[in-house]
Structure 1
Amino acid sequence: MKNVFFLSCFLFIAHSFAQKTNNNSLFKDYLEKGFKYHDNRKLDSSRYFLNKIDSLIKLHPKDSSSFYQKELLEASLFVRENKMDDAIKKLLRANHFFKEKKDSANIGLSLYKLGVANYYVNRRLKAGEYFDEVIPYKKFVSKRLLTRIHQNYGTINLEVGLLSKPKNRTLIFKAIKSYEEAIKIYKEENWLMEHALATSLLAECYNQLEDFDTALHLINKAILIARKAKNKSQEGFALIKKTTILGQKKKYKEALKTIQIAKPIFIKLKDKPTYLYSLNEEKKILFGLGKFKDASILSDTIYKVAIKNYDTRFVDKVSEMEVKYKTTEKEKEIAQQKEQLLTKELEIKNRNLYAILLVAALLILGIISFSFYKRNQLKRKQLQKEIDLKDALSTIKTQNRLQEQRLRISRDLHDNIGSQLTFIISSIDNLKYISKDASDKLKEKLSNISSFTGDTIHQLRDTIWAMNKNEVSVEDLHARVLSYVEKAKTVRPDINFKVNYSIDKNLSLTSFAGMNIFRVLQEAINNAIKYANATSIDINLNKKDNHFIAAVIDNGIGFNITKVELGNGLSNMEKRMSKIGGKVVINSNEEIGTDITLKLNIENTAYDV
């Protein structure tokens, strides 16, 4: 008997669990179909599944979450039936419940539905605020819903732009961008119903911009998409928009035929807001045709009472409901904050005495530490000044000794080596004079030795010139270059030498840098004379930005840099410039000439012997 009892209990529990699981599955299926038929404006079918859901919920009255999900569907139907009071009440209650339960997906959905409801009672900016509140929950809502929100931002921009005085075209173009971005997604996902609606709204933008041909093309496209989707609601909406565009183009007869096709669709669908919209557009067309009597017969007064008068009555009530639910949320937050504040106040009172004593002790310690710090800082400053003074004196002494050493070396070079080289030249000249009967080859050798010795004397003088100074002014360098060019002219009178000088005379280089630049220029001029077969050689000295630039340019035969192996002369130029932190740039073209440019950063010339 016991076994039979336990078996009966087990079967009952299993049956209950299976039934509950089945009911949950049915609930999700009915809810999904209810929203699907609502979106397609098939309100009777949507309400049929709402009733099915209602019967399931009665079996499990404690399931609050299912109840408020059902409320979202019912509120959506109330919006379509123009029962805005009931719709927004339900949506606010549902949103409040889902926030308490932290149900992110349904918080996002309820906020979206509140945005749509507020849009239909002409609270455009409030609708936008609700859409903004959905964004933090974007991970929990569908891509379809997020795309609709993006489209709705476009609609809000469009309508606010139209209400502006004058018409705000910037907002209309923003609306166009939103619609085009939404349409791209609808195409990718093959969401035909949304695609048709977004295309109709895009057509309205171009209509407001008075681009009627583009608007008409787009609205015809929207009608075709709606028919492909077999969505009578979107087809009717597109037909209403087409009526508006035809009216703008003064095609009133075609517009009247179009609106008369659209009206019955919304009567059949029981979609009051859109039906009233169609009546208003028909009235405009009748006025355009001059049928004023027919226009007055239309329910224009009913439209105004249903929309405009309803708005003035309703807006305050909606605001009151919103404040009520927001106040409840704030009261809970305030209560929690008060409790936290009381706890903190008690902790603060207990700690105040210790804090005061600690601050006093730290203050005294800080004053003592600061006085020690200031005293030590003063001592360090005095000590540093003494060290700096000693370093400066040591540097001056070192520089003076170096300068004296340079002067001594330069005097020795001039007095000893210079006089000896002069004696050699004189002796060679005497030998040539004495050896009248000597061979031409010997005379040529003696002449070469005399010439080489003379060049050595000139180079020695240049070295002494650099050594005698800590710095070399650019003017001194210019004078040396001119002197060298004058000597070159005596050797090659057939070449036209030109020295261009456009630089501040006060600019100075270290003696080491000045000497190396002069030697590189000498080498460059010498190479041009020997190998270039040039008729003209230009030497340019100038400054650009923080760079000293010297160039030797000839119009000779040139050479191919990629094919010719650079000799010791060009290699020595690069080494010399590298030593002083500069560089050599060689550009040469066959039959055109060669340009050798020296560049040196003026701020980086701290090189000396």
Structure 2
Amino acid sequence: MPKLFIIPILLLACVTGFAQTRLLDSLKAELSRQSDRTQRLKTITAICDDQYSLSTDSLENYALQASELAGELGNKYAASLANHKLAFCMMKRGKADTALLIAETELKKNSVANRDTRDIYFKFSILQAQVSNSKANAAQTITTLYRILGEAELYNDTLATIQSTNGIASVRIQMDQPVEALATLMGTLKYGSNPHFEKAFASLYSNIAMAHNKLGHTDSALLYADKAIRLCRKIGNLTFLSNALSYQSNFFLKKNQLADAEASLREAIEVRKRMNDEATFQNDQVRLANFYLNTGQAAKAVVICEASLSSQLNDVAFLRLQVYDVLAKAYKSLGEDKLYQQTLERIISIKDTVQQDNASSALAEMQTRYEVQKKENTIIQQELDISRKNYLFYGSIGVLLFAVVLALLTFFNYRRREKLKLDLLLQKEKDSAALAVLRAGESERKRIAADLHDNLGAYAASIVSNLEFIQPQLQDEGSQVAMQELRHNSLSIVSQLNDTIWVLNKDSLSLTAISDRVKTFIRRVQPSFPQVQMQVSEDIEVDHLLPPAQAYQLFQIVQEAVNNALRHSGSRNVDILVASRDSWQVLVSDDGSGMDSPSGKSGGGNGLVNMKARAAEAGWNISWLPAGGKGTQVEVSPMTFASDR
């Protein structure tokens, strides 16, 4: 049997999309009842997916309907699917250039990188390989299929991997490389158990059978042909069912099982009839005639050929050539020399006509291609010139802008660095000056403390000591009081000097240190006020440090508040609380008579005014509040603490 009718059909198996014929009939019936355009488009698309069980005319008719509906509904995906079926029809009709043009247009719109359009991309890519194979361009076919295989593996598309692998094996079978084809195909059998891919195996099993047949493994060829037939019956793929039955007929013929061979071939022809594809049916008739001729039944071959020549396709040149070729051999086998000679003359006449038509067609096609290519080259050259000018113009502008930006960045960066250097120098000078002032202040503070201790402190202590030895000559009450006041004032001077020296000798003082100093003060004045209970309480979680000046001001404020409570409030209890957490506060509370106005002057003179002045100088808040219904509470705290409350 000539390869012309077998091998090109193998590559058609690279694309799946079949449905059971019962389902196809059901879809057609459903379509006849539908009026909604969206539902009709969905049903027609499903019918078109059964492309291998439809005649070319029917498929083209449904594809045109789908394309029109998709355009009306704006469904780009469905429009691409319809165009795929139209391109498939063009390929089957021998219009390869039209099919390729449709495929190239759709491939530009449907990217392999886009998951939503990837299946359409692979459909049209494999269609390109099919068209190349139909033009007997094996090199282009194999190149396209390997490109598809690489992309399918890159994007983990198993279906496209199976399809491209099957196509590559089909080309290898055409090139008489059955060993390589079989090795390629066997690697895909691991996907055969997956129902999602079983449609792709309808032709894959047939290709495996063909490879085994070329290697002389007839039993293996029959095994895989049977698998292909059973699978095609299951999924209702008429084209591949007919092909598999034809291959099975060949294999039976090799084993001299003539009855089985004829039965398979006749069933293949019956399956083909169901598709209503007259052109393909004529091919099958030629196959049957060849079968009868090869099995010594030349008379039956003559009957088949004469019936075929009388069909409506008897004006198709290449079909007539095939029929006349078999008919001539049949006449020769029967010894009908005259009829044999007449048939040969008809063959020569048809070939001359075909060659002339082909030559004229080829010349016209080449002339058209030349003119189109010439115009395209002119347009490309013009676009190239424009692009070069644009590149030069925009490139120059880009370089100029880059240079300007670079210069500006360099300038501003230089200015920023210089300003930063200047700021650093100024800050360094400020820090040096501040450090010098601080050191000078510390030095002066320590010097004053030393002078107070060594001079005034010594003299004050001497006065207190000498007063102990002075005995007034007059023992009257006034002299005694004056001497007592003098002794008291001398002790006060020594106490004040000690407090001042205590502060000045420290770089910083903690709240606990100030609290301890207040306790010392309380112990010193307690004997003078035995009727008053005085205590110092601490609630210190964070022991804040205060500079000497602030520590001195705080101690003086507390001391003044205690003196006011002792001398003017008539209180029985005086409580001092030193509290510290995130901030600090000092409370001096008494249970005395209270006060009308915190801004007024007390009996101590300007005591309250001095306390306010000390607090303001240190940056603190000071307030006088009623304490629990009677008495007064003096509160001292930093500004931030007071605002937080």
Give the TM-score of the pair, scaled to structure 1: 0.38
| TM-score w.r.t. length of structure 2 | 0.36
Question: Which of the two has higher C-alpha Rg?
Answer: 2
